[in-house]
A and B are shown apart, each in its own frame.
Chain A
Amino acid sequence: MQVALEVNGSPHEVEVQAGEALSTVLRDRFELTGTKVACGEGTCGSCTVVLDGRAVLSCLTLAAACDGASVRTVEWDGELLSRLRDAFTAEDGFQCGFCTPGQLMSALALLERSPAPSRDEIIAAMSGNLCRCGAYEGIALAVARAAGDGA
Protein backbone atom coordinates (compact mmCIF):
# COMPACT_ATOMS: atom_id res chain seq x y z
CA MET A 1 0.00 0.00 0.00
CA GLN A 2 1.04 3.60 -0.55
CA VAL A 3 1.96 5.65 2.53
CA ALA A 4 2.70 9.37 2.78
CA LEU A 5 5.65 9.77 5.13
CA GLU A 6 7.71 12.82 5.97
CA VAL A 7 11.25 11.61 6.64
CA ASN A 8 13.68 14.02 8.27
CA GLY A 9 11.72 16.96 6.89
CA SER A 10 11.25 15.70 3.32
CA PRO A 11 7.87 14.45 2.10
CA HIS A 12 7.77 11.00 0.49
CA GLU A 13 5.27 8.53 -0.90
CA VAL A 14 6.42 5.01 -0.23
CA GLU A 15 5.05 1.57 -1.06
CA VAL A 16 5.00 -0.64 2.04
CA GLN A 17 3.93 -4.20 2.75
CA ALA A 18 1.29 -4.99 5.32
CA GLY A 19 3.16 -6.08 8.44
CA GLU A 20 6.36 -4.31 7.46
CA ALA A 21 8.09 -2.53 10.34
CA LEU A 22 8.96 1.14 10.12
CA SER A 23 12.58 0.20 10.90
CA THR A 24 12.70 -2.00 7.78
CA VAL A 25 11.28 0.74 5.58
CA LEU A 26 13.73 3.30 6.93
CA ARG A 27 16.74 1.03 6.60
CA ASP A 28 15.95 -0.76 3.34
CA ARG A 29 13.82 1.70 1.37
CA PHE A 30 15.33 5.02 2.50
CA GLU A 31 18.80 3.54 3.16
CA LEU A 32 18.79 5.31 6.52
CA THR A 33 20.85 2.60 8.21
CA GLY A 34 21.62 4.80 11.19
CA THR A 35 18.51 3.33 12.82
CA LYS A 36 19.70 0.05 14.33
CA VAL A 37 17.81 -3.14 15.06
CA ALA A 38 19.41 -4.96 17.97
CA CYS A 39 16.54 -7.14 19.17
CA GLY A 40 13.68 -6.74 16.71
CA GLU A 41 11.12 -7.24 19.46
CA GLY A 42 10.89 -3.92 21.25
CA THR A 43 13.07 -4.71 24.24
CA CYS A 44 16.28 -2.74 23.72
CA GLY A 45 15.46 0.71 22.33
CA SER A 46 18.15 0.72 19.63
CA CYS A 47 15.61 1.31 16.87
CA THR A 48 14.01 4.35 18.55
CA VAL A 49 12.93 7.11 16.16
CA VAL A 50 10.84 10.21 16.74
CA LEU A 51 7.39 9.85 15.19
CA ASP A 52 5.18 12.95 15.31
CA GLY A 53 7.19 14.18 18.28
CA ARG A 54 7.13 10.94 20.26
CA ALA A 55 9.93 8.44 20.74
CA VAL A 56 8.73 5.12 19.33
CA LEU A 57 10.27 1.70 18.75
CA SER A 58 10.45 1.52 14.98
CA CYS A 59 10.84 -2.28 14.99
CA LEU A 60 7.36 -2.59 16.52
CA THR A 61 5.74 0.24 14.55
CA LEU A 62 3.87 -0.81 11.43
CA ALA A 63 4.92 1.33 8.51
CA ALA A 64 1.42 1.01 7.11
CA ALA A 65 0.07 2.78 10.20
CA CYS A 66 2.34 5.80 9.62
CA ASP A 67 0.39 7.36 6.74
CA GLY A 68 0.60 11.12 7.06
CA ALA A 69 3.16 10.95 9.85
CA SER A 70 6.47 12.72 10.27
CA VAL A 71 9.47 10.66 11.32
CA ARG A 72 12.90 11.79 12.36
CA THR A 73 15.97 9.57 12.61
CA VAL A 74 19.57 9.96 13.71
CA GLU A 75 20.34 11.30 10.22
CA TRP A 76 18.15 14.38 10.80
CA ASP A 77 20.10 17.65 10.69
CA GLY A 78 18.09 19.72 13.20
CA GLU A 79 19.71 22.10 15.66
CA LEU A 80 18.68 20.27 18.83
CA LEU A 81 20.01 16.96 17.52
CA SER A 82 23.25 18.67 16.55
CA ARG A 83 23.51 20.01 20.10
CA LEU A 84 22.92 16.50 21.47
CA ARG A 85 25.65 15.10 19.21
CA ASP A 86 28.11 17.67 20.52
CA ALA A 87 27.12 16.84 24.09
CA PHE A 88 27.45 13.07 23.52
CA THR A 89 30.92 13.71 22.13
CA ALA A 90 31.98 15.97 24.99
CA GLU A 91 30.64 13.64 27.70
CA ASP A 92 31.79 10.41 26.02
CA GLY A 93 28.19 9.23 25.88
CA PHE A 94 28.90 6.16 23.74
CA GLN A 95 31.48 3.51 23.10
CA CYS A 96 30.62 1.11 20.29
CA GLY A 97 27.85 3.43 19.14
CA PHE A 98 25.34 0.76 18.13
CA CYS A 99 22.66 1.84 20.62
CA THR A 100 23.53 5.50 20.16
CA PRO A 101 21.06 6.42 17.39
CA GLY A 102 18.27 5.19 19.66
CA GLN A 103 19.72 7.02 22.65
CA LEU A 104 19.88 10.25 20.64
CA MET A 105 16.29 9.89 19.48
CA SER A 106 14.95 9.22 22.98
CA ALA A 107 16.91 12.25 24.21
CA LEU A 108 15.59 14.38 21.36
CA ALA A 109 11.96 13.53 22.17
CA LEU A 110 12.61 14.20 25.85
CA LEU A 111 14.18 17.61 25.33
CA GLU A 112 11.45 18.67 22.90
CA ARG A 113 8.75 18.04 25.48
CA SER A 114 10.82 18.94 28.56
CA PRO A 115 13.63 21.38 27.72
CA ALA A 116 15.16 21.34 31.21
CA PRO A 117 14.66 17.81 32.57
CA SER A 118 15.69 16.76 36.06
CA ARG A 119 18.08 13.84 36.51
CA ASP A 120 15.12 11.62 37.44
CA GLU A 121 13.25 12.66 34.29
CA ILE A 122 16.30 11.86 32.20
CA ILE A 123 16.63 8.42 33.78
CA ALA A 124 12.89 7.72 33.32
CA ALA A 125 13.00 8.75 29.66
CA MET A 126 16.24 6.95 28.82
CA SER A 127 15.98 3.69 30.78
CA GLY A 128 14.36 1.87 27.87
CA ASN A 129 17.49 2.37 25.79
CA LEU A 130 19.92 -0.40 26.69
CA CYS A 131 23.67 0.11 26.30
CA ARG A 132 25.87 -2.93 26.86
CA CYS A 133 29.09 -0.89 26.81
CA GLY A 134 27.64 0.87 29.85
CA ALA A 135 27.92 4.47 28.67
CA TYR A 136 24.96 5.53 30.82
CA GLU A 137 26.85 8.09 32.88
CA GLY A 138 28.07 9.91 29.79
CA ILE A 139 24.62 9.67 28.22
CA ALA A 140 22.87 11.15 31.26
CA LEU A 141 25.41 13.95 31.48
CA ALA A 142 25.15 14.59 27.75
CA VAL A 143 21.37 14.96 27.85
CA ALA A 144 21.68 17.40 30.74
CA ARG A 145 24.46 19.28 28.96
CA ALA A 146 22.47 19.60 25.73
CA ALA A 147 19.51 20.91 27.74
CA GLY A 148 21.78 23.39 29.51
CA ASP A 149 23.41 24.54 26.29
CA GLY A 150 20.01 25.37 24.86
CA ALA A 151 18.87 27.35 27.90
Chain B
Amino acid sequence: MADKRKSLTRRDFLQGTLGAAVGASVLGTKWLEPAQKAAGSSLVAVVRDAKAMDSANVVNTEVLKTMLDNVLTKVTGKTTANDAWHSLLKADDIIGLVPTPHLNPTHKEVVEAVKSSLIAAGFSGEKILDAQGGPDKPKACTALIGLPGLKAHWLTGIGTVMKLYILYSGSARSYHDANSAKLGGILNLPFVKGKTRLVLVDALHPLFDKGPQVDPRYKWAYNGLIAGTDPVAVETVCLRIIMEKRKANKGEPWPLSPPPLCVEAADKEYGLGTSDWSKIKVDLSGWKEDALLG
Protein backbone atom coordinates (compact mmCIF):
# COMPACT_ATOMS: atom_id res chain seq x y z
CA MET B 1 0.00 0.00 0.00
CA ALA B 2 2.77 2.40 0.94
CA ASP B 3 4.59 1.85 -2.40
CA LYS B 4 1.58 3.04 -4.35
CA ARG B 5 1.23 6.14 -2.25
CA LYS B 6 1.03 9.33 -4.28
CA SER B 7 4.10 11.45 -3.80
CA LEU B 8 3.10 14.35 -1.61
CA THR B 9 4.07 17.84 -2.60
CA ARG B 10 3.93 21.18 -0.88
CA ARG B 11 0.77 21.86 -2.83
CA ASP B 12 -0.96 18.93 -1.15
CA PHE B 13 -0.38 20.54 2.21
CA LEU B 14 -1.59 23.87 0.94
CA GLN B 15 -4.71 22.23 -0.42
CA GLY B 16 -5.41 20.81 3.01
CA THR B 17 -5.08 17.25 1.82
CA LEU B 18 -3.38 16.14 4.99
CA GLY B 19 -4.32 16.17 8.60
CA ALA B 20 -4.31 19.28 10.72
CA ALA B 21 -1.38 18.24 12.87
CA VAL B 22 1.01 17.67 10.00
CA GLY B 23 -0.41 20.59 8.06
CA ALA B 24 0.14 22.92 10.99
CA SER B 25 3.69 21.68 11.39
CA VAL B 26 4.72 22.32 7.81
CA LEU B 27 2.79 25.51 7.16
CA GLY B 28 3.23 27.05 10.57
CA THR B 29 -0.47 27.56 10.98
CA LYS B 30 -2.18 27.56 14.32
CA TRP B 31 -3.16 24.31 15.96
CA LEU B 32 -6.92 24.33 16.00
CA GLU B 33 -8.38 23.71 19.42
CA PRO B 34 -11.67 21.82 19.31
CA ALA B 35 -14.52 22.97 21.54
CA GLN B 36 -14.27 19.67 23.35
CA LYS B 37 -12.38 16.46 22.97
CA ALA B 38 -14.01 13.62 21.09
CA ALA B 39 -15.30 10.64 23.00
CA GLY B 40 -12.71 7.91 23.42
CA SER B 41 -9.84 10.34 23.26
CA SER B 42 -6.31 9.05 23.74
CA LEU B 43 -4.78 10.24 26.97
CA VAL B 44 -1.28 11.65 26.98
CA ALA B 45 0.18 12.65 30.34
CA VAL B 46 2.78 15.39 30.57
CA VAL B 47 4.56 15.83 33.89
CA ARG B 48 7.11 18.61 34.38
CA ASP B 49 9.25 19.80 37.22
CA ALA B 50 11.47 22.88 37.10
CA LYS B 51 13.97 21.08 39.33
CA ALA B 52 14.29 18.00 37.14
CA MET B 53 17.66 19.31 35.97
CA ASP B 54 19.97 21.90 37.48
CA SER B 55 21.51 24.84 35.61
CA ALA B 56 24.24 22.54 34.26
CA ASN B 57 21.53 20.17 32.99
CA VAL B 58 22.42 17.49 35.50
CA VAL B 59 19.39 15.34 36.23
CA ASN B 60 18.02 15.25 39.76
CA THR B 61 17.23 11.58 40.13
CA GLU B 62 14.95 12.04 43.12
CA VAL B 63 12.82 14.56 41.31
CA LEU B 64 12.84 12.32 38.24
CA LYS B 65 11.57 9.37 40.24
CA THR B 66 8.65 11.42 41.50
CA MET B 67 7.90 12.58 37.97
CA LEU B 68 7.95 9.02 36.73
CA ASP B 69 5.57 7.85 39.44
CA ASN B 70 3.22 10.72 38.58
CA VAL B 71 3.21 10.14 34.86
CA LEU B 72 2.59 6.43 35.31
CA THR B 73 -0.39 6.97 37.57
CA LYS B 74 -1.86 9.63 35.32
CA VAL B 75 -1.57 7.50 32.18
CA THR B 76 -3.09 4.41 33.77
CA GLY B 77 -5.49 5.93 36.27
CA LYS B 78 -3.95 3.82 39.03
CA THR B 79 -2.98 5.19 42.41
CA THR B 80 0.59 3.84 42.59
CA ALA B 81 3.40 3.27 40.14
CA ASN B 82 3.42 -0.42 41.08
CA ASP B 83 -0.23 -0.80 40.16
CA ALA B 84 0.37 1.23 37.02
CA TRP B 85 3.07 -1.15 35.82
CA HIS B 86 0.93 -4.19 36.60
CA SER B 87 -1.90 -2.75 34.56
CA LEU B 88 0.44 -2.40 31.59
CA LEU B 89 2.49 -5.58 31.89
CA LYS B 90 2.04 -9.23 32.72
CA ALA B 91 4.03 -10.78 35.53
CA ASP B 92 5.95 -13.09 33.21
CA ASP B 93 6.66 -10.52 30.50
CA ILE B 94 10.17 -10.21 29.15
CA ILE B 95 10.33 -6.45 29.07
CA GLY B 96 12.38 -4.59 26.50
CA LEU B 97 13.38 -1.01 27.24
CA VAL B 98 13.92 0.93 24.02
CA PRO B 99 15.82 4.19 24.53
CA THR B 100 17.21 6.52 21.88
CA PRO B 101 20.79 5.23 21.76
CA HIS B 102 22.77 8.30 20.71
CA LEU B 103 22.59 11.77 19.17
CA ASN B 104 20.49 13.44 21.81
CA PRO B 105 20.05 10.10 23.53
CA THR B 106 17.59 9.23 26.25
CA HIS B 107 19.11 10.24 29.58
CA LYS B 108 20.56 7.20 31.26
CA GLU B 109 18.89 8.45 34.44
CA VAL B 110 15.50 8.01 32.76
CA VAL B 111 16.31 4.46 31.70
CA GLU B 112 17.60 3.64 35.16
CA ALA B 113 14.57 5.19 36.81
CA VAL B 114 12.23 3.08 34.68
CA LYS B 115 14.20 -0.08 35.34
CA SER B 116 14.31 0.59 39.09
CA SER B 117 10.61 1.32 39.11
CA LEU B 118 9.85 -1.95 37.36
CA ILE B 119 12.01 -3.89 39.78
CA ALA B 120 10.35 -2.14 42.71
CA ALA B 121 7.02 -3.25 41.26
CA GLY B 122 8.17 -6.83 41.43
CA PHE B 123 9.36 -7.48 37.89
CA SER B 124 12.53 -9.49 37.64
CA GLY B 125 15.62 -7.53 36.70
CA GLU B 126 16.74 -10.47 34.59
CA LYS B 127 13.67 -10.07 32.47
CA ILE B 128 14.28 -6.38 31.79
CA LEU B 129 16.40 -6.11 28.66
CA ASP B 130 17.91 -3.39 26.56
CA ALA B 131 15.82 -3.78 23.42
CA GLN B 132 17.29 -1.08 21.20
CA GLY B 133 19.04 -2.46 18.15
CA GLY B 134 18.44 -4.94 15.37
CA PRO B 135 15.44 -7.25 14.84
CA ASP B 136 16.72 -9.82 17.32
CA LYS B 137 16.08 -7.39 20.16
CA PRO B 138 12.27 -7.18 20.04
CA LYS B 139 12.10 -10.87 19.16
CA ALA B 140 13.52 -11.63 22.60
CA CYS B 141 10.80 -9.61 24.33
CA THR B 142 7.11 -10.02 24.97
CA ALA B 143 6.59 -6.38 25.94
CA LEU B 144 8.28 -3.16 24.88
CA ILE B 145 8.50 0.19 26.63
CA GLY B 146 9.55 2.95 24.29
CA LEU B 147 11.81 5.55 25.90
CA PRO B 148 12.65 7.99 23.10
CA GLY B 149 14.35 11.33 23.50
CA LEU B 150 12.35 14.26 22.16
CA LYS B 151 13.94 15.78 19.09
CA ALA B 152 13.29 17.26 15.69
CA HIS B 153 14.91 15.44 12.79
CA TRP B 154 16.26 16.86 9.57
CA LEU B 155 14.99 13.92 7.50
CA THR B 156 11.65 13.12 9.07
CA GLY B 157 10.58 16.36 10.74
CA ILE B 158 10.37 14.73 14.14
CA GLY B 159 12.60 11.87 15.28
CA THR B 160 10.98 10.67 18.47
CA VAL B 161 8.34 7.95 18.71
CA MET B 162 7.87 6.69 15.16
CA LYS B 163 11.60 6.66 14.51
CA LEU B 164 12.47 4.84 17.71
CA TYR B 165 12.18 1.35 16.29
CA ILE B 166 13.89 2.06 12.97
CA LEU B 167 16.68 -0.43 13.62
CA TYR B 168 14.09 -3.20 13.96
CA SER B 169 13.55 -2.90 10.23
CA GLY B 170 17.04 -4.19 9.50
CA SER B 171 17.37 -1.52 6.82
CA ALA B 172 17.26 1.84 8.54
CA ARG B 173 18.59 3.76 5.57
CA SER B 174 15.63 2.77 3.43
CA TYR B 175 13.47 5.02 5.56
CA HIS B 176 15.54 8.13 5.03
CA ASP B 177 13.83 9.63 2.05
CA ALA B 178 10.27 9.57 0.80
CA ASN B 179 9.81 6.30 2.63
CA SER B 180 10.03 7.98 6.02
CA ALA B 181 6.23 7.97 5.91
CA LYS B 182 6.47 4.19 6.25
CA LEU B 183 8.11 4.31 9.69
CA GLY B 184 4.84 3.35 11.33
CA GLY B 185 4.92 0.09 9.45
CA ILE B 186 7.81 -1.03 11.63
CA LEU B 187 5.49 -1.11 14.64
CA ASN B 188 3.31 -3.51 12.68
CA LEU B 189 6.09 -5.98 11.95
CA PRO B 190 5.06 -9.41 13.26
CA PHE B 191 7.74 -9.49 15.94
CA VAL B 192 6.89 -5.96 17.11
CA LYS B 193 3.14 -5.67 16.69
CA GLY B 194 1.17 -5.35 19.88
CA LYS B 195 4.19 -5.40 22.17
CA THR B 196 4.46 -1.70 22.94
CA ARG B 197 2.75 -1.23 26.27
CA LEU B 198 3.86 2.30 27.00
CA VAL B 199 5.70 5.14 25.31
CA LEU B 200 7.51 7.37 27.78
CA VAL B 201 9.28 10.30 26.14
CA ASP B 202 12.34 11.85 27.73
CA ALA B 203 11.47 15.52 27.32
CA LEU B 204 13.95 16.78 29.90
CA HIS B 205 16.30 18.46 27.39
CA PRO B 206 14.75 18.26 23.92
CA LEU B 207 16.17 19.39 20.58
CA PHE B 208 13.91 21.54 18.41
CA ASP B 209 15.98 21.89 15.24
CA LYS B 210 18.76 20.30 13.21
CA GLY B 211 18.38 16.85 14.77
CA PRO B 212 19.67 14.29 15.17
CA GLN B 213 23.07 15.96 15.41
CA VAL B 214 23.13 18.10 18.50
CA ASP B 215 23.31 21.85 18.22
CA PRO B 216 23.15 23.32 21.73
CA ARG B 217 21.49 26.47 20.39
CA TYR B 218 18.41 24.40 19.74
CA LYS B 219 18.16 22.57 23.01
CA TRP B 220 16.16 23.73 25.96
CA ALA B 221 15.21 22.57 29.43
CA TYR B 222 11.60 21.49 29.10
CA ASN B 223 12.08 19.30 32.17
CA GLY B 224 9.29 16.94 31.24
CA LEU B 225 8.20 13.36 30.80
CA ILE B 226 5.46 12.63 28.25
CA ALA B 227 3.70 9.28 28.32
CA GLY B 228 0.81 7.39 26.81
CA THR B 229 -0.27 4.06 25.46
CA ASP B 230 -1.21 5.52 22.07
CA PRO B 231 2.15 6.07 20.34
CA VAL B 232 0.72 8.34 17.65
CA ALA B 233 -1.03 10.54 20.16
CA VAL B 234 2.20 10.80 22.14
CA GLU B 235 4.10 11.72 18.98
CA THR B 236 1.48 14.33 18.13
CA VAL B 237 1.84 15.97 21.52
CA CYS B 238 5.62 15.92 21.07
CA LEU B 239 5.19 17.49 17.64
CA ARG B 240 3.13 20.30 19.07
CA ILE B 241 5.69 21.05 21.75
CA ILE B 242 8.47 21.17 19.15
CA MET B 243 6.43 23.45 16.88
CA GLU B 244 5.48 25.86 19.63
CA LYS B 245 9.08 26.02 20.82
CA ARG B 246 10.26 26.82 17.31
CA LYS B 247 7.69 29.57 17.03
CA ALA B 248 8.67 30.98 20.41
CA ASN B 249 12.32 30.90 19.43
CA LYS B 250 11.88 32.76 16.15
CA GLY B 251 9.06 35.02 17.22
CA GLU B 252 7.08 33.83 14.22
CA PRO B 253 5.96 30.47 12.83
CA TRP B 254 8.97 28.33 11.94
CA PRO B 255 7.60 25.36 10.01
CA LEU B 256 9.20 21.96 10.18
CA SER B 257 10.80 20.94 6.95
CA PRO B 258 10.37 18.23 5.82
CA PRO B 259 6.92 17.67 7.22
CA PRO B 260 6.54 14.78 9.67
CA LEU B 261 4.58 12.60 7.29
CA CYS B 262 5.22 9.58 9.47
CA VAL B 263 2.83 10.92 12.10
CA GLU B 264 -0.27 11.01 9.96
CA ALA B 265 0.69 7.82 8.14
CA ALA B 266 1.00 6.04 11.50
CA ASP B 267 -2.59 7.08 12.13
CA LYS B 268 -4.30 6.79 8.77
CA GLU B 269 -2.35 4.01 7.08
CA TYR B 270 -1.06 1.87 9.90
CA GLY B 271 -3.81 2.34 12.45
CA LEU B 272 -1.41 2.79 15.32
CA GLY B 273 -3.27 5.57 17.08
CA THR B 274 -4.58 9.05 16.53
CA SER B 275 -2.92 12.23 15.27
CA ASP B 276 -6.22 14.11 15.50
CA TRP B 277 -5.81 16.78 18.14
CA SER B 278 -9.53 16.68 18.88
CA LYS B 279 -9.09 13.07 19.94
CA ILE B 280 -6.09 13.60 22.20
CA LYS B 281 -6.55 14.54 25.82
CA VAL B 282 -3.48 16.07 27.38
CA ASP B 283 -3.18 15.82 31.15
CA LEU B 284 -0.56 18.41 32.05
CA SER B 285 0.68 18.56 35.63
CA GLY B 286 3.55 20.06 37.54
CA TRP B 287 5.51 23.03 36.27
CA LYS B 288 3.25 24.94 33.89
CA GLU B 289 5.52 27.73 32.68
CA ASP B 290 6.18 27.55 28.91
CA ALA B 291 4.46 24.19 28.67
CA LEU B 292 3.83 24.95 24.96
CA LEU B 293 0.56 23.07 24.91
CA GLY B 294 -1.84 25.95 24.46
> Do they bind each other?
no
